[in-house]
Chains A and B, each alone.
Chain A
Amino acid sequence: MFNIERWKEIFQSIQKNKLRTVLSGTTVSLGILIFIVLFGLGEGLKNSYSDLFLRQANNVLFLYPGKTTKPYGGFKTNRRIEFDNSDISDIKNNFSDRVELINPTIRYGDVIKYKLESYDFSIQAVSPSNQYIEGNVLMKGRYINQKDIDTKSKVVVIGRLVARDIFKTEDPIGKFINIGSRTYKVVGVFQDLDGDNQESFLYLPYTTRQQILMGSDKVGNIAITFNDKLGGSGAIKLENEIKTFLKKKKSIDPTDPSAIRTRNVADELDRSMQFAGALQVIVAFVGIGTLIAGIIGISNIMVFIVKERTKELGVRKALGAKPSEIIKMILTESIFITSLSGFLGMVIGIIFLNTIDKGLQEYFITRPEVGIGTALFATLVLIIFGVIAGYIPAKRAAEIKPIVALNDE
C-alpha cells in the first residue's frame, strides 16, 4: 500500500486516463452526495416533529371530568363527574411509584381590572407544577409556590402579553390587580415559547380559588407528570390504571367512555415520532438505493476499466508483472479514486445541507443534518464495495493467460 513506486504508477495511470477517472469518481461522489442530502432532509423532518413537542413537558397525562353515559352503582346516567382534593391525594398516595407532579387546575372567567380599565384574559387556578407542565419560562419575579398554596395567598403570575397589555411600560411586579371582586398582587411574569396564546394567561393558586368558592374542594382538570423512564407503553398502562382507579372510586361503569377523559402527551409524541421515524426509514431506503446504484455504477466502471486495459495488463505480464502486482495496481487505483471522490461527495453533501439549513423551514424541515458517523459509514460502505467491485475483475484479469490478453483487441 505504501510502496511509493506503485503510487507513482497509479498517479500516472490516473493522470493519463482522465475521462475514466472522472467518470468513476463522479459516480461515487454523486452516490454519497445524494445519500447524505436525502438522509439529512429526513433528519430535518424528524427534527421539526421533535421541536413541536419538546417545548412542553411530554411526560404528562391530562385527566378531564365529563358526564356519565351509562347508569352504574345505583346512579342514573348523565351524572356530572367532578374531581376534588381527595382525588389528588389518592392519586399521590396510590401511584407514588410512578407519578411525580400533580397539577389540579380550575379554569374560570372573570373581569380583570387595573386602574379603571377592564381586560379579558384566561384565568386559571393552578399549583406550582403548572410551570413545568406548561413549559412557562419566568421573565421577572417568581412563580406560584407551595407557600401560596398552603396560605391560600392572593397572588397572581401573568403572561408576557398580559403584562404588556395591562402595565404597558410599568413594572408589573408588586402591583395589584382586581379579578372579580378580589385584589391580587402580581408576583411574576412568564413567557412561553409555544406562542401568544400561552402568554395570555393569568395563574393564581388553586387553593385561593377554592377558598373564594366558599371552601369548595372541587378542582377542574388534573394534570399528572410521571417518571420519564416509563416509556410509551408504561405511560399508557399508568393512564389506564389511574382511570380505572378513579372510576371505581366515583362509581362509574368501567366501560363508560366519557365520564373521565384523558390525554397522554407521551402517547401523542410517540405516534408523531413514529410517523417521522417511518418517513426517515423511507428516506433512508431511498438513500440506500442510491448507494446501491452507486456501487453498481462503480462495478460497471471497474469491469470496463479492466476490459479496456486487458492488453496493457497482458504486456505488463509478459514483462514480468506478477498476478498479485496486477491486482494491487488495479485495486489501489480503485480504492484511491473511490476514497477521494467518496469523501469529496460527503463534504459537498454536508456543505449543501448547511447551506439550505435555513431555507426549508416553511417545508417543515428543520436543521437538516447528517451525523458525521453516518456520513463516514456510508462513505466507507461505498469504498468497501468499490474495492470488492474492483477486486473481482482485477483478479480475473490477473488470471488471464498473457497470450490471451495480448491478443485482445
Chain B
Amino acid sequence: MIEINKLHKSYYMGSSSLHVLKGIDFNVEDGELVAIMGSSGSGKSTLLNILGMLDNADDGTYDLDKIRIENLDEKTAAEYRNKFLGFVFQSFNLITYKNALENVALPLYYQGIPRKERQKTALSFLEKVGLKDWATHLPSELSGGQKQRVAIARALASNPKVLLADEPTGALDSNTSIEVMALIQKINNEGKTILVVTHEHDIAKMCKRIVHLRDGVIVEDKKIKQNIIKNV
C-alpha cells in the first residue's frame, strides 16, 4: 500500500537547517496497523505529514497504492488527500461552528456528493463510532473522546485507503484513549490500513507492528503480538 525509498526532509530556519528525515525506507502492506514511535524531534510527525501529502519531501520516492506521489500541485494533492487519506489529529481539528454530522460530511462535500446522500453516509459513520445520537451537537458540546470519535468518523467518511492518526490519544485520558484505540482496532479489523504516530508504549502495543524512529532514521521495525482490547 505504501512504499517509501530514501526519504529526506530538512527544515530551514534562516541560515541554519535541520535535517529531520535522513533516508527513510519503509513499506506498509494492505490492512496493517502500524505504530510509528519515537521521542519528540525524532521525525515521526514529519514522516506522517509527508505520507499525508500535507508536506513535501526533499528527496526520495513515495508510492501510495502504486501511484507515485511527487511534484503535486495543491489541487492534485487536495484530490489525492480526499480520495486516498483520512486524517485524525491530536487536537481533533473539528470545525467549531459545524455540528458532528456536518463535520463528518465535509470530506464528502469536497467530493461533490449531493447533500442528502452526504448526510446519510455521514450518519452511518457516526453510528459506526457510536455517536448517532450526538449528530446535531456542536464540538463544544462533546467530550474529548467523543470529539476524537467524530474525527475518526470524518476521516473514514470518504472511504480512504489509509488512515493517518497523529497522536490520536495525545489529548485524552487513559480510559478514553483505550476507547479510541479499540475503535481504531475495530476499523483495522475491517480491513483498513492505519498508521498511528505515538510516543506512548502501551498505545503502540495495541498495534500490529511498531516502527521506531530516532534522529531521522528507522532504528527498529518489528511485528508484535497485538494487545487486543476487549470489553470496552
Contacts and interface: CB of A to CB of B under 8 A. Distances in A.
Nearest to B118: A5
Interface in B102-118: 102, 106-107, 109-111, 115
A401 B52 CA distance: 12
B107 A320 contact: yes
Contacts, number: 70
Nearest to B55: A403
A324 B76 CA distance: 12
Given A320-B79, A323-B74, A401-B54, A9 B109 contact: yes
Q: By CB atoms of chain B within 10 A, which of A318, A401, A406 has the most?
A: A318
A398 interface: yes
Contacts of A17: 97
Contact of A12 (B52, B93, B98, B158): B98
Interface stretch (B35-43, B82-90, B180-188): B82-90
A199 to B, nearest CB: 72
A184 B57 CA distance: 111
B75 interface: yes
Interface residues of A, number: 27
B54 A402 contact: yes
A152 interface: no
Counting from the closest, the 9 A-B pairs by CB-CB distance are A320-B82, A16-B97, A320-B110, A403-B54, A322-B78, A319-B107, A402-B54, A403-B55, A315-B93
29 contacts: A5-B115, A17-B97, A311-B93, A316-B95, A316-B106, A317-B78, A317-B81, A318-B52, A318-B54, A319-B110, A319-B154, A319-B158, A320-B78, A320-B82, A320-B83, A320-B107, A320-B158, A321-B78, A322-B74, A322-B110, A323-B75, A323-B78, A324-B75, A325-B78, A398-B74, A401-B54, A401-B55, A406-B54, A406-B89
Interface of B: 49, 52, 54-55, 74-75, 78-79, 81-83, 87, 89, 93-98, 102, 106-107, 109-111, 115, 154, 158
Given A8-B115, A312-B96, A317-B78, 10 more contacts: A5-B109, A312-B95, A315-B95, A316-B106, A319-B154, A322-B78, A323-B74, A325-B110, A406-B89, A406-B93
